[in-house]
Structure formats: structure tokens, C-alpha cells
């Protein structure tokens, strides 16, 4: 079945609402408007306002309401319009949802799913374009997912809803229009990374919106005789270190592609884990391709220059392999 990323997310939400009466959706403009990215379009008409709830513009308030509903036995799916706005709900997510199982000695769990768009490339400037996944991947007590493929967009929600603890799902906004043929019933796990393209000369580690760019770079490199293996992290917390390290032990080189900033980011964590576990397998230092250390610009040419692109990935690999 051919679906867009947007349609896959909508189908997953539809399944959840259809099969579990405890599931309901809440967020800004998700009902009558159908969602900022049209993911929830049509669900209000089918399931009604009790299960598809428009909220006030108060992330702190409606995420807190979702946590309360989860504690009361419901299975809320809360949509935050963009990751930048999620900072207004950090107290609820980090100090409450992530910590309650620990602070209650295991007596309480918070089975909430929080979805949000992330990433740049749409000329929406700094307050709507950042990639802050690393902030959430830093926090014990939550699971952090970054579906980069249509199959993962379709399949990750069900196991996320089955998780007894909070799950945060990051959807890169440039992925919504991408399409693929998928098996909608194929099981998808929320535990492991995945090798999307085998290779022998270098490992490209990416997630979310950078996965497609890594695959594009790998095809360009293949034309010049360099075979890159592409690993999609998929799960940012807990990281599947084993899949990444196994790949690096085969290729002996690694390039980490991260739309977040280089300083204190996910790219640094992945690099450190490679060095800790596969240092003697490396033929060269690990290289990172990250966003420039600036707020994402509005002007398109500056925005494109500020974030990772296939050409930057190709150049990094060529430098590593001595092909430049």
C-alpha cells in the first residue's frame, strides 16, 4: 500500500482510536482545523469532540491535563505544534511525566504519547525550526522516537501506546509529504536502530530528517566507488548502541549526521559511544555533520546553508576516505 508519511500517521491514530476506547487526542487545532500538518484531518468528524480535543494555546496546561488523564487510566496522544513550543511544557514532561514512576517507587506510570513536529527547511525561522531531540534524549524515564520512514510513521504509534511510560515522538516536518509502499500490518519495534543501506567503506549514522539526506549522499558516493552503510537510529532514547557499533566494526569509519547543533548534542553522544566500544576498529576519527551554531535563519539560502545537506555529507566522507 502506498502512503504518505502524513497518511501513515493518520492511519496509525485512526487504528488507535478505533481499537482502544481509552485513546483520545488533544492539542492545538487538531480538531476542526485538522492539525497544523493535516495529520488529524477528518478524525474529529468520525470520533467526535470527546476523543479529538482542541486545546487552548497553553502547552503547559494541556500536556499536564494529558498526564493527569494517563494517571487516571486513559491513553492520551498529545500533539504539540512544534518542538520549539514544547519548551513551554518541559516542566510537565521532565519533572512530572518522566519522574513519576521513580518518585512513586513504581506505584504509578504515565502512559502518555507526545507527538511534535521538528526540524528546519520550511523558512519558518528560528522559533519554529530547531531540532531539540537531544534535550529529550537526555532525560531518564521517557522513550524518544524519531520515525524517518513511512513504515515507522505507520507502525511506531501502537507500541508507543502500549508502553507504560511516556513516549515522545518527533516527526520531521519535511517528511510529511514523502511516500512509500508499505505493509500497514507489518510489526515495528521501538527498541532498535536499523541498517537501511548496507556498505563496506563508511557508516553514516542519521535519524529523522537527516536519514533521507544520508541515503542520497550514499548513492552519490557509490557512483565514485565508495559504499556507505546508512544506519537510522530511529530510537533516540534508549540508544541502540550495538547496531551502530556493529556497523562501524564492519566499515571502520563513521560520519554522524545530526540536524541538531554540534555542541552537547546527539552527535557527540553517538561519537562517544563509538569511541568507547569500537576505538580500535576505527581507521579514522569520527566526523560529525551538524547544523551551524546559529538560530535557524529565515532566508532560504541561509537556512539551507545552516543545516546538513547531502553535499556536506559527501564532502565529509571524501575527506575521511582520502577521495577528495
- Whether this prediction's pTM lies above 0.95 is answered by yes
Of the candidates 213, 197, 77, the one whose C-alpha atom is nearest the C-alpha of residue 145 is 77
Question: Per-residue pLDDT averaged across 60-78, rounded?
Answer: 98
Give dist(CA 100, CA 165) in Å, integer.
9
Closest to 296 in 3D by CA, of 179, 136, 124? 124
Architecture label for domain 2-181: 3-Layer(aba) Sandwich (3.40)
Residues contacting residue 232 through CB under 8 Å, at least 6 positions apart: 148, 149, 193, 194, 195, 196, 206, 207, 211
Cα(237)–Cα(143) distance, rounded to whole angstroms?
5
Residue-level pLDDT at 1: 86
CATH 3.40.50.300 matches 194-321: no
Same topology, domains 2-181 and 194-321? Answer is: yes
Domain boundary assignment for the chain: 2-181, 194-321
Q: What is the mean pLDDT of residues 273-286?
A: 98
- What confidence tens digit (pLDDT) does each residue in 216-265 have? 999 999 999 999 999 999 999 999 999 999 999 999 999 999 999 999 99
Catalytic residues, by residue number, are: 59, 128
Sheet strand arrangement including 194-197: 194-197, 228-232, 202-206, 254-261, 287-291
pLDDT of residue 155: 97
Amino acid at each position: 500500500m502506498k502512503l504518505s508519511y502524513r497518511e501513515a500517521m493518520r492511519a496509525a491514530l485512526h487504528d488507535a482510536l478505533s481499537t482502544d476506547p481509552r485513546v483520545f487526542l488533544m492539542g492545538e487545532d487538531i480538531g476542526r482545523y485538522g492539525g497544523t500538518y493535516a495529520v488529524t484531518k477528518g478524525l474529529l468528524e468520525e470520533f467526535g469532540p470527546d476523543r479529538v480535543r482542541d486545546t487552548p494555546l497553553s502547552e503547559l496546561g494541556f500536556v499536564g491535563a494529558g498526564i493527569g488523564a494517563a494517571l487516571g487510566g486513559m491513553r492520551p496522544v498529545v500533539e504539540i505544534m512544534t518542538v520549539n513550543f514544547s519548551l513551554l511544557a518541559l516542566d510537565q514532561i521532565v519533572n512530572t511525566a518522566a519522574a513519576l514512576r521513580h518518585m512513586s517507587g513504581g506505584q504509578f506510570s504515565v502512559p502518555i504519547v507526545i507527538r511534535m513536529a521538528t526540524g528546519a527547511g520550511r523558512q519558518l525561522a528560528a522559533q519554529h525550526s530547531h531540532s531539540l531531540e537531544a534535550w529529550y534524549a537526555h532525560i531518564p524515564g521517557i522513550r524518544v522516537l524519531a520515525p524517518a520512514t513511512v513504515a515507522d510513521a505507520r507502525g511506531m504509534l501502537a507500541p508507543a501506546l502500549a508502553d507504560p511510560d511516556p513516549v515522545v515522538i518527533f516527526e520531521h516536518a519535511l517528511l510529511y509529504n514523502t511516500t512509500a509502499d508499505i505493509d500497514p500490518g507489518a510489526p515495528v519495534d521501538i527498541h532498535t536502530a536499523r541498517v537501511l543501506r548496507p556498505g563496506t567503506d563508511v557508516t553514516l549514522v542519521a535519524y529523522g530528517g537527516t536519514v533521507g539526506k544520508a541515503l542520497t549522499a550514499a548513492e552519490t558516493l557509490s557512483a565514485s566507488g565508495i559504499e556507505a552503510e546508512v544506519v537510522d537510529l530511529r530510537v533516540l532514547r534508549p540508544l541502540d548502541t550495538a547496531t551502530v557499533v556493529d556497523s562501524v566494526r564492519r566499515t571502520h569509519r563513521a560520519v554522524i549526521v545530526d540536524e541538531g547543533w554540534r555542541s552537547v548534542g546527539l552527535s557527540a553522544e553517538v561519537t562517544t559511544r563509538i569511541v568507547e566500544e569500537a576505538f580500535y576498529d576505527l581507521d579514522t576519527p569520527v566526523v560529525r555533520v551538524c547544523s551551524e551554531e546559529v538560530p535557524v535563519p529565515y532566508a532560504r539560502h541561509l537556512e539551507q546553508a545552516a543545516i546538513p545537506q547531502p553535499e556536506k555529507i559527501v564532502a565529509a566522507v571524501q575527506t575521511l576516505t582520502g577521495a577528495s
